[in-house]
Amino acid sequence: MMRAVSGHPSMQRAAPKPDDMLCFAVYAAAHAFTRAYRPLLAPHGLTYPQYLVLLLLWAEDGRTVGEIGLPLFLDSGTLTPLLRRLESAGLVRRSRDGDDERQVRIRLTADGRALRAKLKGVPDAIGRAVGLPGGELAAVTETVRRLGGTLRSKGAAEASGAPATAGRAGPRRRPRAGAPG
């Protein structure tokens, strides 16, 4: 029953609450996005990651698995089954590249290309759900994109003490500032 509160000898440093944490805000917003996409994509039998793959193929068809995974930060463990599902849905074809048999090229079918027109209203629908004016939208996008890049470049392991690589890890003014986790 004892509720350890301030001043008590066994008092732990107050751990941040999820709601105050940037990581949780991002985590929850990501789920909220896929949930917002669901009613728009599910009627066409698509999931959000599948939609991302189609966006890439609509921009440039005939990519290899690796050329899809690189911009999406996904590996073959995720993409292989996803692409297989797109194939069995009749939206893409998968075939080994003739010049390099290691590579698998993904090509849209007619149905896959036609889906583009059917989903043309999706970005606007999401835009309305986000409800941010254009300038602010671009600013937030850039901020969050940079955040992802930072986390990807220097993982928490490296950041936890050792200077990564010629790191710009300058002097910390205060060890305890916010609640980033």
Partner DNA sequence: CCGGAATAGATTGCGCGCAATCTATTTCTC
Partner DNA sequence: GAGAAATAGATTGCGCGCAATCTATTCCGG
- In angstroms, rounded to a whole number, what is the distance separating the alpha carbons of residues 105 and 93? 8
Residue type, 19: D
Give the residue, chosen from 22, 74, 122, 159, that forms a contact with DNA under the rule CB under 7 A.
74
3-class SS letters over 94-150: EEECCCCCCCEEEEECHHHHHHHHHCCCHHHHHHHHHCCCHHHHHHHHHHHHHHHHH
Q: From the list DNA, its own copies, none, which binds 143 (C-beta under 5 to 8 Å, kind-based)? A: its own copies
- For DNA, the closer CB: 62 or 138: 62
By CB under 7 A, the residues from 100 to 159 that bind DNA are: 100-104
- In angstroms, rounded to a whole number, what is the distance separating the alpha carbons of residues 68 and 75? 9
| Residues that contact DNA, how many (by CB under 7 A) | 33
Give the residue, chosen from 14, 99, 124, 128, that forms a contact with DNA under the rule CB under 7 A.
99
Nearest approach in angstroms of CB 117 to its own copies is 7
- In angstroms, rounded to a whole number, what is the distance separating the alpha carbons of residues 166 and 147? 19
Nearest approach in angstroms of CB 174 to DNA is 28
Which residues lie near DNA (CB under 7 A)? Answer: 27, 31, 34-35, 38, 47-50, 64-67, 69, 73-83, 85, 94, 99-104
